[in-house]
Amino acid sequence: MKLLKRNWPFHLMILPSLIFLIVFSYVPMAWIVMAFQDFKPRLGISGSEWIGLDNFRYLFEREDSVQVIINTLVIAVLKMVANLIAPFTFAIFLNELRKMFVKRFVQTLVYLPHFLSWVILGGILVDILSTDGGFVNRIITNVFGIEPIFFLGDGTWFRITVVVTDMWKEFGFGTVVFLAALANVNPSLYEAAEVDGASRFKQTMHITIPSMIPITIVVGTLALGNILNAGFDQIFNLYNPLVYDKGDIIDTFVYRAAILNGQMGFGTAIGLFKSVIGMILIVVSYRLAYKLAGYRIF
Amino acid sequence: MKSKASKSWLTMLTLTLILSLLAACSNNSSSSNTNSGNAGTAANTGNSESVYKEKYEPPVTISTVWGVDPALKFKNGESIENNVATKWALDKFGIDIKSLWSVTDTNGAFATKLRLSLTSGQELPDIVVVGNDDPQLAQDLIDSGAFQDAGALFDKYANDTWKAAMEMDSNVWNPYIRDGVRMGIPLLDYAYNHDYLLWIRQDWLDKLNMEAPKTIEELEAVLEAFKNNNPQGLKPDQVTPLSIGFKSSLNTWMGDPSWIFGAYGTIPEQWNLAADGTLEYGSVNEAMKPGLVKLNEWYNKGYIPREAALWDENKTAEPAVAGTAGIIPGPYWMSGWPLLDTAKNVEGAVWKPYPIPTGPDGKAGRHGTHFTNGVILINKDMKHPEALFTYQNYLFDNYANPAPGSEFDLGLFKGYDYDIDENGNPVFGDDIPGGQIIAPARYFLVRDGARIPDAQMNALLALADGKEPETRLEKDVAVNYGPDTPAAAKVLLSQEDISMKNMFTGPTTPTMKMKLDYLNKLELQTFNEIIYGKKPVDAFDKFVETWKSSGGADITKEVNEWYQTVK
């Protein structure tokens, strides 16, 4: 009680985000029932016909559903791994920099792309990856002397492009989290190691990396919840009929089926399906993280 | 002391944060309060007699939403919400156009936003004007039940000019009829506005000493020469001999490839009249096959852009304007926009209109244009629906095709699409101080103001025959539509019989609702893969089979049932 008295400004500062959370994440949950309805906007929730699990059945009966789910998993897992390894490695390198100014400068520099929207980046990427004189392909043909690569028109290259560009955009953001963890490492550990004659490399291997493991597990665990989110903004701005086969993901599929074709109930069903899978994965991986690494987030 | 100071700082910060949040909330609620207050009083007065007026005093409000064409320009810091046309409406009729929201209409953003506001139960505007590029949107809006019997209002308030224009084709109401009630007013458009022809670089043809192609075969020879023997000295990989794109569809308006299939007897992605009198989906017709083979061949030879699958309509215009494209299919009015700019980039560049080439059997085809390009929906809670007619009736009488001497004789708005110089003479185009606005009619509440279907073609044909421009429309097309537009109109009408309209204009059928997105995906994917050589052309047969078994057969049945009711 005394604690509350002293800290009330902090509690008050949480309030706006709490209100946001309730308004935008909890209140809409009431509309989950749409997943079990043949929802029609003019009839509303109360008037629409209840159809049980038909929406879910339809999801698995569609000829392209399995392919879409596979695409989503492949792209999301690749992104997850890339977005864990890249910031992890980069944070270690950055931590070894002695000059504070350079460190901060580089950190800000790699952080900036995070703030660009995919709508803008999509336009830029289409141009620089173009096979007709795009920047990247000009380098490929002039320097390496091979045929231009149709990055956005070939299924496999499309997946690679999506993962790499996402990594480029987001790894600066991830690095910040890891750097924060590194700042918390007790300096006396390094001092002791130095006294014992450990080289910088040994220090990195035995002090820096082990102390990053807990935060890595946290980040990895939280990312698992997004296993069925392959990034709508990005894919939607880059894909085209040529790569439907390997690039169409659940979210773009929902966009076409639910938004463009007006099957709101079906769209909600897919959303619910995604959320349930995500929640199961978070619970399981959280338990695993506790068991294997002895780390609790909450 | 220090800690105390910092603590009070923290408190201040917190309070500011909370207050600003509260302020934001209360702002909203207070404005919505005044809104409902207004609405209440307006509703009371709305039911009184003789409501239709030439001018409303005090002003009445019409709320609407806007999807702004990205090509539309503004000047003097204006926007779609507040510009010369909204001021004009307020001064002239006492009609205050209130914008609920507006969005730049790329990637179907307008349709998406409107659908979301429909689903989330947000306030719908008094007037919604929806285009035909997403026909389902209008149907969804009508099904929402938020709109009223527009046909009855039309009969009651519309003037003779508008009614006569509407009667030119009685089918225009078809898509919007529900149980015999006309739920929306069709938005009339100029006939043939989306029919297309081939724009070819005449200066290239002349330098090569070639004739304009009349058949697909001759066309290939021209493309070959443009590509590998370019008269402008461009290297083969710098030329786009035929600028087409099919990111969203094989049947579109600029850079459209559908005539390539037309040469073999079908137009894809629309419902055509089959030989037995029923409707058939063009994309599953056998004639697609030779068309796809041709496109694949042209792709391999580099006649079409390597990234055609990534190109939308506006992108196909880029090489045409830059002067690196030889041929672009498109509407007759392209001479004014965007092709007028080519000559600025390449000296001596000349575009000329030519008919669609014929296939091996002498067939040719292009997609046709309905007399409508959308619909006007009237909210059933609209307080003053008659105000819409005050606005539109005036435009039909004084703007659509008036005799000489009307308010809009020279153009719409002084300083926008025309101006008067110090000697009192009208000036147009780049001579307007501060730059010209192309098509300021897009500022009107109802897109493009008012159009009478045959008016523009009549004006163009008159000009093509050498008549001096007299009426407003004749002057308008003479000044604003590019030098070759009359000639293009003539070319277009010379092929009137090859124009195939999409015969299905009814509401989405139940199977369409369930399956159409999948069928469309399958179709686009298969066609693109065949064109890019990733699949052999035989994949088409498998596509037709899958299309039919995955719902296409049911859709065909439903479409024909609808067709029987309107035939």
Q: Which amino acid is at B132?
A: N
Residues of A in contact with B315 (CB under 8 A): none
Residues B321, B202 share a domain: yes
Which residues from B are below 8 Å from A131, CB to CB?
306-307
Q: Residues B381, B427: one domain?
A: yes
Between chain A and chain B, the number of residue pairs with CB atoms below 8 A apart is 102
* Cα–Cα dist A7/A1, whole Å: 10
User: Is residue B36 in a domain?
Assistant: no
Asked whether residue B285 falls in the same domain as residue B256, the answer is: yes
- Domain-terminating residue out of B419, B438, B453: B453
Distance CA B343, CA B308 (A): 24
| B108-127 residues touching A, CB cutoff 8 A | 108, 111-112, 115-116, 118-119, 121
Contacts of B11 in chain A (CB under 8 A): 9
Domain shared by B271 and B359, yes or no? yes
Looking at the structure, do residues B158 and B112 belong to the same domain, yes or no?
yes
Residues in A closer than 8 angstroms to B550, CB to CB, are: 63
Closest CA to B147 of B374, B376, B380: B380
Other CB atoms within a 10 A radius of the CB of residue B536 amount to 11
Report yes or no on B125 lying in a domain. Answer: yes
| Domains along the sequence of chain A with CATH | 48-293 (1.10.3720.10)
Whichever domain contains B254, its CATH number is 3.40.190.10
How far is Cα B358 from Cα B210, in angstroms, rounded to an integer? 18
The pTM score is: 0.76
Q: Which residue has the tokens 């929906």?
A: B377
In a shared domain, residues B440 and B515: no
Q: Does any CB of chain A come closer than 8 Å to the CB of residue B140?
A: yes
Torsion over CA: B248, B253, B255, B259 (sign): positive
Which residues span the domain enclosing B416?
48-188+373-453
B516 DSSP assignment = H
As beta bridge partners, residue B366 has B499
Asked whether residue B13 is domain-assigned, the answer is: no
| Angle made by CA atoms A178, A184, A188, in degrees to the nearest 5 | 130
Q: What angle do CA B474, B480, B482 make, to 5 degrees?
A: 100
Q: What share of chain B is helix, strand, coil (3-state, %, to 5)?
A: 50, 15, 40
Q: Is residue B127 part of a domain?
A: yes
- Residue from B303, B273, B269, B268 nearest B287 by CA: B268
Q: Are residues B257 and B333 in the same domain?
A: yes
Based on the structure, what is the number of domains in chain B?
2
Q: Which residues of B touch A13 (CB under 8 A)?
A: 13-14, 17
Q: Which two tokens stand for residue A49?
A: 């016909």
Residues 6 or more apart whose CB falls under 8 angstroms from that of A295 comprise A214, A217, A218, A289
pLDDT in tens, chain B (567 residues): 445 555 566 666 666 656 555 555 444 433 333 343 343 333 344 444 568 888 898 999 999 999 998 888 898 889 999 999 999 999 999 999 999 999 998 877 898 889 888 877 788 999 999 988 777 788 888 888 889 999 999 999 999 999 999 998 877 888 888 888 899 999 998 888 889 999 999 999 999 999 999 999 999 999 999 999 999 999 998 899 999 998 888 998 899 999 999 999 999 999 999 989 999 999 999 999 999 999 999 999 999 998 898 888 888 999 999 999 999 999 998 988 899 899 999 999 999 999 999 999 999 999 988 888 899 999 999 999 999 999 999 999 988 888 887 888 878 888 888 888 888 888 887 788 888 887 888 899 998 889 998 888 888 888 888 888 888 888 878 877 888 899 999 999 899 889 998 888 888 888 988 888 889 999 999 999 999 999 999 999 999 999 999 999 999 999 999 888 877
DSSP string, B237-257: GG-EEE----SS-SS-SSS--
Q: Is residue B145 domain-shared with residue B268, that is, in the same domain?
A: no
B144 Cβ under 8 Å from any chain A Cβ:
yes
Q: Residues 6 or more apart from B117 whose CB is under 8 A from it?
A: B101, B123, B124
Which residues have a Cβ under 8 Å from the Cβ of B262 and sit 6 or more positions away? Answer: B356, B359, B363, B364, B365, B366, B367, B498, B500
CA distance B285 to chain A (A): 20
Q: How close does chain B come to A77, measured CA to CA in Å?
A: 25
- B118 and A13 within 8 Å at the Cβ level: the answer is no
**Helix segments in chain A, DSSP class H:** 2-21, 44-47, 54-61, 65-96, 100-111, 118-128, 135-139, 155-183, 187-195, 200-203, 209-224, 232-238, 244-247, 250-254, 264-293
User: Does B19 fall in a domain?
Assistant: no
Is B11 within the bounds of a domain?
A: no
Last-in-domain residue among B391, B420, B453: B453
Q: Are residues B389 and B342 in the same domain?
A: no
Q: Which one-letter DSSP state was computed for residue B352?
A: E
Query: What ipTM was predicted for this assembly?
Result: 0.78
Regarding whether B294 and B428 lie in a shared domain, the answer is: no
Measured in angstroms, the CA of A257 and the nearest CA of chain B are apart by 6
Min Cα–Cα distance to chain A from B316, Å: 13
Exposed (0-12), middle (13-18) or buried (19+): which is A187, by Cβ within 10 Å? Answer: exposed
B177 and B235 together in one domain: no
The pLDDT tens digits of the residues spanning B412-466 come to 888 888 888 888 888 887 788 888 887 888 899 998 889 998 888 888 888 888 8
Structural contact between residues B351 and B26, judged by C-beta atoms closer than 8 angstroms: no
Residue B163 and residue B77 share a domain: yes
Q: How far is A170 from chain B (nearest CA, A)?
A: 25
- Residue-level pLDDT at B196: 93
**R_g over Cα of chain A:** 24
